[in-house]
């Protein structure tokens, strides 16, 4: 196993129409045995980054280190990485045993017995011993995915790379395989980089997530830290389902704190100590997550906050909670509320937002001015122990 480090890795494509920067000075250190997830919208550069690590794309600038070796100049076979693709890419005429052992046969000096033993041990880890003599045409999608994983695992690589490996599976199997992948990575202790556009996969699987947009890594943190303390508006709005409500707003002085007005309606209040600089009179981007919009009758919290009237337009039943769509003046908000709260369209409700749940972003730089909390400092959530 080994640490993986990217130093200012850049990828620029040149064609007849000019140049396009797909990845711009990406830097991240993945610790030995860590599970890092690269997440972001389509076209953000995450798969290109993974392919550069694998050696399937040449880098334009920067360095890639695996352990104590720079590898950007090495062929893929010399980097000691194994990659699992979105497509299973299995050899149709080969059995599972042959598919899994193919790389070992052509890249190592193992004997036939040694290869068979390693393949059998990996198949047992994945629970596919009964498939060793089957060919891909005899398997389900989930079984093919396990074989593809086994083909990578059997090589015992320094770094395990996964490019949206679960996207072809149905929802139930996908959820099951997320758990299995975490178990396998934990048992192997292998350094892993996983690419996905699905934030649920990112938030549930990763030790840390690297959020990308427009070829730039926006933030690298444990999922719970990035969720509560986004570096900028993009990260805040990208993480979370439904997405964060974000509006243009103006800040004014309000007693010993600030009121945040959207179209002359106060949607948030924060104490003065919640922000580093005096922001009275400033234009900001106001954000609040749907689960932090309260429609119950609880009193205001001690730290302040605000209440405002809203009109229900639609309520969507979700089983374990409900999504409530609200009109506030000329704006629309989404609230995520407990299942016992189910207002009807047209109902007038009172919405409460606690001061600690207000997010503020700079409208020009998009950088965070205030994230979750009210003490003026980022207090990182204790990272969840995974695996």
Residue 303 tokens, joined: 């730290």
Mean pLDDT of 258-274: 96
CATH numbers and ranges of domains, the chain: 4-234 (3.40.50.300), 235-370 (2.40.50.140)
Residue 298, pLDDT > 90, answer no
Q: Band of the pLDDT at 302, cuts 50, 70, 90? A: very low
pLDDT at residue 110, rounded to an integer: 86
3-state secondary structure of 38: strand
Most confident of 72-86, 134-148, 348-362: 348-362
pLDDT at residue 387, rounded to an integer: 46
Residue pair 191/3 in contact (Cβ under 8 Å)? The answer is: yes
Mean pLDDT of 67-93: 90
Nearest of 75, 76, 122 to residue 99 by alpha carbon: 122
Burial class of 264 by CB neighbour count within 10 A (0 to 12, 13 to 18, 19+): exposed
Residue pair 84/142 in contact (Cβ under 8 Å)? The answer is: no
pLDDT at residue 55, rounded to an integer: 97
Nearest of 170, 119, 171 to residue 140 by alpha carbon: 170
pLDDT digits (tens, 9 = 90+) for 306-339: 999 999 999 999 999 999 999 999 999 999 999 9
Residue 86 tokens, joined: 């979105």
Mean pLDDT of 55-80: 95
Q: What is the 3-state secondary structure (H, E, C) of 83-132?
A: EECCCCCCCCCCCHHHHHHHHHHHHCCCCHHHHHHHHHHHHHHHCCHHHC
Report the C-alpha gap between 272 and 53 in whole angstroms: 45
Residue pair 100/130 in contact (Cβ under 8 Å)? The answer is: no
Mean pLDDT of 55-81: 95
Residue pair 219/210 in contact (Cβ under 8 Å)? The answer is: yes
pLDDT at residue 259, rounded to an integer: 97
pLDDT at residue 380, rounded to an integer: 55
């Amino acid at each position: 196993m080994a640490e993986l480090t990217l130093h200012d890795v850049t990828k620029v494509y040149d064609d007849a129409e000019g140049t396009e920067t797909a990845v711009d000075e990406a830097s991240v250190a993945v610790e030995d045995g860590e599970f890092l997830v690269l997440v972001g919208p389509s076209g953000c550069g995450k798969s290109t980054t993974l392919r550069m690590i694998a050696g399937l794309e040449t880098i334009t600038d920067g360095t890639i280190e695996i352990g104590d070796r720079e590898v950007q100049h090495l062929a893929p076979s010399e980097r000691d990485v194994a990659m699992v693709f979105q497509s299973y890419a299995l050899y149709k005429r080969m059995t599972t045993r042959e598919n899994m052992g193919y790389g070992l046969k052509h890249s190592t000096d193992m004997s036939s017995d040694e290869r068979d033993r390693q393949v059998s041990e990996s198949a047992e880890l994945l629970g596919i011993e009964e498939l060793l003599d089957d060919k891909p045409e005899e398997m389900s999608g989930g079984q093919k995915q396990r074989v593809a994983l086994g083909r990578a695992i059997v090589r015992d690589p320094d770094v395990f790379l996964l490019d949206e490996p679960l996207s072809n599976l149905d929802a139930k199997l996908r959820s099951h395989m997320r758990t299995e992948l975490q178990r396998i990575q934990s048992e192997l202790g292998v350094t892993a980089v996983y690419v996905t556009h699905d934030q649920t996969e990112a938030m549930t699987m990763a030790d840390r997530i690297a959020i990308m947009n427009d070829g730039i890594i926006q933030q690298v943190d444990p999922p719970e830290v990035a969720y509560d303390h986004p570096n900028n508006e993009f990260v805040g709005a990208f993480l979370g389902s439904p997405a964060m409500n974000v509006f243009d707003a103006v800040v004014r002085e309000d007693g010993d704190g600030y009121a945040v007005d959207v179209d002359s309606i106060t949607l948030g209040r924060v104490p003065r100590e919640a922000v580093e600089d005096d922001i009275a009179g400033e234009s900001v981007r106001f954000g609040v997550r749907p689960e932090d919009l309260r429609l119950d009758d609880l009193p205001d919290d001690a730290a302040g906050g605000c209440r405002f009237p809203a009109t229900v337009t639609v309520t969507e039943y979700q089983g374990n909670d409900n999504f409530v769509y609200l009109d506030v003046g000329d704006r629309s908000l989404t609230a995520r509320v407990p299942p016992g709260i189910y207002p009807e369209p047209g109902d007038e409700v009172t919405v409460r937002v606690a001061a600690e749940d207000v997010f503020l972003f700079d409208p020009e730089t998009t950088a965070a001015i205030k994230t979750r909390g009210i003490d003026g400092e980022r207090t990182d959530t204790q990272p969840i122990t995974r695996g």
